Amino acid sequence: MSFELLKPQVETIISNSTKTKNERLQAICQLLESNIDYYNWVGFYFVNGDKQELILGPYVGEPTDHTVIPFGKGICGQVAVSNKNFVVPDVKAQDNYIACSLTVKSEIVVPIFVNGKNVGQIDIDSNTLDPFTEKDERFLEFVCEKVSSIL
């Protein structure tokens, strides 16, 4: 399904105030994972208060042991420090990569900002080598912008 067709569905999920924040985040994970065939793990990480770490939020995909990630560690931890999107075409080529599954070949992480502050991120793993394009980045920036409105 095209990103343009998914955008109104993301907006509908976000605007559903009868659901909790976590239910809406979970629904977004499910929407993306089920409609984009190379999105094999979709989840959110959020800054843990004043601590220099991220905690795992709602996600869809294989269970992960990485429920807490220190700032600077792995791709997610690096995005928490850099405040920039990070696209990894081949995880084997990254020194500071935290392996979640042997099947993961690439990853994209896009930060979520609230009032200019990085409060979390969306993290997507793919079992396909180098599938992410600029279109993925722009779409995920859109998703993060919408998510920021409920945080």
Where residue 21 sits, what CATH number does that domain have? 3.30.450.40
Which residues form the domain of 136?
A: 3-148
Tell me the mean pLDDT in the region 20-39.
98
Identify the pLDDT of residue 45. 98
Q: What is the pLDDT of residues 7-28, one digit of tens each?
A: 999 999 999 999 999 999 999 9
Total domain count, the chain: 1
Identify the pLDDT of residue 1. 78
Q: How far is CA 38 from CA 8, 18, 41, 90, 126, in A?
A: 21, 30, 9, 14, 5
Identify the pLDDT of residue 51. 97
The answer, yes or no, to whether residue 135 has pLDDT greater than 80, is yes
Q: What is the pLDDT of residues 62-118, one digit of tens each?
A: 999 999 999 999 999 999 999 999 999 999 998 888 777 789 999 999 999 999 999
Round to whole Å and give the CA distance between 82 and 93.
19
Return the closest-CA partner of residue 131 out of 37, 62, 64, 6.
37
Tell me the mean pLDDT in the region 50-62.
97
Identify the pLDDT of residue 52. 98
The answer, yes or no, to whether residue 48 has pLDDT greater than 80, is yes
Identify the pLDDT of residue 140. 98
The answer, yes or no, to whether residue 5 has pLDDT greater than 80, is yes
Return the closest-CA partner of residue 81 out of 121, 141, 125.
121
